[in-house]
A and B are shown apart, each in its own frame.
Chain A
Amino acid sequence: MAVDTSYYLILSAAVFCTGLFGILTRRNALLFLMSVELMLNAANINLVAFSQYYGNLTGQVFALFTMALAAAEVAVGIGIILVLYRNFEDVDVAEAATMRW
């Protein structure tokens, strides 16, 4: 009846790699945020999956915390993107390279 844990892990890995791919290829800051959310959720899937596997609820509680943190992170991230747009009239992350050496 129960699904084998390895499937969850494969799903999680797939979602993580999708997120990573997005970060490495996209230049739009909003897509960046979305990709980061994907990676976070991949981690959440892992947490819940192992929680179920070991019959221990700690992992699920942890996943809830992660979601709350993710929400906060998005709030900060969107704030940064707004400032980025105000300064560069664009949300391209490659543009914002003026503060390097």
Chain B
Amino acid sequence: MAGELAFDIAPAIVALPFASFLAVLALGNYMPKKGASAGIAATAGSLVLSLFALVTVAGGSTYQQDLFTWSGAEEVPLHFGIFIDPLSAMMLVIVSLIALLVHVFSLGYMNDEGETGLPRYYSELGLFTFSMLAFVMADNLLMAFMFFELVGLCSYLLIGFWFREDGPASAAKKAFLVTRFGDYFFLIGTVGIVATFGTSRFVSTESHTAFPVLAEEALAEGGHGVTTFLGFGPEAWFSIIGLLVLGGVIGKSAQFPLHTWLPDAMEGPTPVSALIHAATMVAAGVYLVARMYGFYALLPTVLAIIALTGGFTALFAATMGVVKREIKQVLAYSTISQYGYMMLALGGGGYVAATFHLMTHAFFKALLFLGAGSVIIAMHHNEDMWDMGGLKNKMPVTYYTFLAGSLALAGIVPFAGFWSKDEVLYEVLVHGLGSAGTTGTILLVAYAMGLVAVLFTGFYTFRMVFLTFHGEPRTETARDPEPVRWNVKLPLVVLGALATVAGVVNMVPVEKVLGIKGIDYLHQFLDPETELVSNLTAHHYEEVLHDVSGYTADATAFGSESTTVLISAGLSLGLALVGVGLAYALYGRSPTPEEHTDKLGGLKTLWYNNYYQDEYQVWLASGLTLPLAKLADRFDQGIIDGAVNGVGRTSLTGGSYVKRIQTGIVTNYAALLALGLVALLLIVGVTGGWFA
């Protein structure tokens, strides 16, 4: 394993953006393009090295290396380490590619628009890229947690880039607080894992065993070799830890009920939305579940919760996206919804499907955000879709790439999103049909929600496309949009190509229906036959899911396997087409479309106000937490502080009385001395028996 050049220089993947961060932070004002060039060079370097690592991993090797043990050398070693396996190599490429394209796009979106504070912007982008890559490479949960927090910090800084305005500043705070609420549980879960297993490694090495392996052994042997707490048995306790870690995942990947920060995060610059709030940082949560899937696969309860949360979020967010007016808001809700699909796949036993969707979504959603950024430049930073219209002919590159992204998002064959979303739904369906009892029912319910969400996705995506690009221009700006330069078009073209063709890496339906073997490249890639990661492979997860959690895939419920595949694909494609057709009928046919949202009545108000999620969370804070905090404050001030103050006051009062014997008159002291001596003599005498 070691000795491979790609792996020996792997630390540079992380080090390059960090160097760019430091350099731009210190000297940004004196650098070409205010630091953008340094960022582009660093991310390009990372991309090349990541691709090199990916190719090496595809050749069948993986790499794990401890870099630095910073605490607890004997008992519980806490360390930083690098782990590169198919999953992390793929993620490294995604992150560095999107980061590079976003840096290029920022030249058009930030530099050309004459923004100030650019060195700050580029240094924060560098710090983010560094933290995200380090998170992906982490070989243990604690290190992952640290960089998880760091990407959260960068998200906060970049959302609040225009901190002099009220909106971005408060959106940044909200994003920070809401994700931190989830991270709090993640921290407890991490401590729980370290305390239970004595390690938080994802991967076994020659001398150490990974915690998912320990958990599997412990469950097989009835709790042998692990420490559980609070009197829970191993399975219940593992589920509790799993749910705690899931708290961080739900916060970061914007799942219900901690999704409320993501739409507000759109206050940040659009390239930031594309990089952080669509393609990479929000993927951190899903990536984390995939990273420790060997652990989650052991816990059917937690899997059911993941599947339900994912399915519900997918549907829930898609409905809200239907009525929004701002282009970035639609995309934000669609991001939440798409991450719901990934969670659904993970909960439904589709590890590869989730990873696949993570990849295609990173491409097409970054594309859509950058396309929206291009439109926003053209519209002089007006984001309201009702002020647009007819941009199709004015900006063809943006239009056609955006259209490719939209077709991918809606899940229309043969764009990338179709293949991944179809596989997500297919995996959940076959596992739901095959598993007995509650597990099967829950998966089918989650599947149904995901399926309905497909209809909404098709609708809101094409409502957005028709309103933005088709029909007559509705404002003066839309009639004469500002042109965009190559630095905007180039990333769009690259991502547009990827959104169109990325699906070929995993055309499972084609393989199953036509019987062509060996074109499920992603499956093969994520299922390597290497000793080091034998417990981190897709077929191992499938075995564990079957043996421990009772997940069974039954692909023959509707006759043969290819029938099931066709039914599943046909259902999701049909629903997506119905959604698109509905959008066309309502908004695409007439050159001057009208608002139809009012016909929804009360539903429109409910959706427009996001199901009053913000209101109820504010109420939770001000109506429930605040009184509780006041009560705790009173307890603290009254009883704890009261006791401390009471002790002080008692000795003060006592002292003020006793001090009066200090008269300052020597005679009195002498008298006291003499009396004391006499008293002492008397006591000694009486007890010593002198007077007997």
Contacts and interface: CB of A to CB of B under 8 A. Distances in A.
Contact of B663 (A25, A27, A100): A100
B221 to A, nearest CB: 73
A101 B667 contact: no
Contact of B674 (A24, A32, A94, A98): A24
A96 interface: yes
A23 interface: yes
Contact of B667 (A94, A98, A99, A100): A94
A25 B667 CA distance: 8
B670 A98 contact: no
B674 A93 contact: no
Contacts of A23: 667, 670
Contacts of A100: 662-664
Interface string B639-675: 0000000000000000000011011111100110010
Contacts of B667: 23-25, 27, 93-94
Contact of B671 (A24, A93, A99): A24
Contacts of A20: 670, 674
Contacts of B671: 24
Contact of A101 (B662, B665, B670, B674): B662
A94 B668 CA distance: 9
A3 B232 CA distance: 91
Nearest to B670: A23
Q: Which of B660, B662, B664 has the most CB of A within 10 A?
A: B664
Contacts of B662: 100-101
A97 interface: yes
Nearest to A93: B666
A98 B663 CA distance: 9
Interface in B663-692: 663-667, 670-671, 674
A99 B666 CA distance: 12
B670 A96 contact: no
A97 B674 CA distance: 20
Nearest to A95: B665
B659 A93 contact: no
A41 B410 CA distance: 113
Nearest to B677: A20
B674 to A, nearest CB: 6
Contacts of B666: 32, 93-94, 96
Contacts of B663: 97, 100
Nearest to A26: B667
B665 A94 contact: yes
Contacts of A25: 667
Contacts of A27: 667
B264 to A, nearest CB: 63
A20 B662 CA distance: 20
Q: Which of A23, A32, A98 has the most CB of B within 10 A?
A: A23
Q: Which of A32, A94, A98 has the most CB of B within 10 A?
A: A94
Nearest to A20: B674
Q: Which of A27, A96, A97, A99 has the most CB of B within 10 A?
A: A97
Nearest to A96: B664
A98 B665 CA distance: 10
Contacts of A94: 665-667
A97 B670 contact: no
Nearest to B666: A93
Interface in A70-101: 93-94, 96-101
Nearest to B659: A101
Interface in A7-34: 20, 23-25, 27, 32
A99 B663 CA distance: 9
Nearest to A92: B665
Contact of A24 (B659, B660, B670): B670
A99 B674 contact: no
B664 A99 contact: yes
Interface string A35-51: 00000000000000000
Contacts of B670: 20, 23-24
A96 B669 CA distance: 13
Nearest to B660: A101
Contacts of A96: 664, 666
Contacts of B665: 93-94, 97
Contacts of A97: 663-665
Nearest to A29: B666
A100 B660 CA distance: 9
Nearest to A35: B670
A27 B364 CA distance: 103
A27 B665 CA distance: 10
A38 B16 CA distance: 91
Contacts of A98: 664
A18 to B, nearest CB: 13
A77 B237 CA distance: 79
27 contacts: A20-B674, A23-B667, A23-B670, A24-B670, A24-B671, A24-B674, A25-B667, A27-B667, A32-B666, A93-B665, A93-B666, A93-B667, A94-B665, A94-B666, A94-B667, A96-B664, A96-B666, A97-B664, A97-B665, A98-B664, A99-B664, A100-B662, A100-B663, A100-B664, A101-B659, A101-B660, A101-B662
Interface of B: 659-660, 662-667, 670-671, 674
Given A93-B667, A100-B663, 17 more contacts: A20-B670, A20-B674, A23-B667, A24-B671, A24-B674, A27-B667, A32-B666, A93-B665, A93-B666, A94-B666, A96-B664, A96-B666, A97-B663, A98-B664, A100-B662, A101-B659, A101-B660
Interface pairs A-B: 8 shortest CB-CB: A97-B664, A100-B664, A93-B666, A23-B670, A101-B659, A94-B665, A100-B662, A97-B665
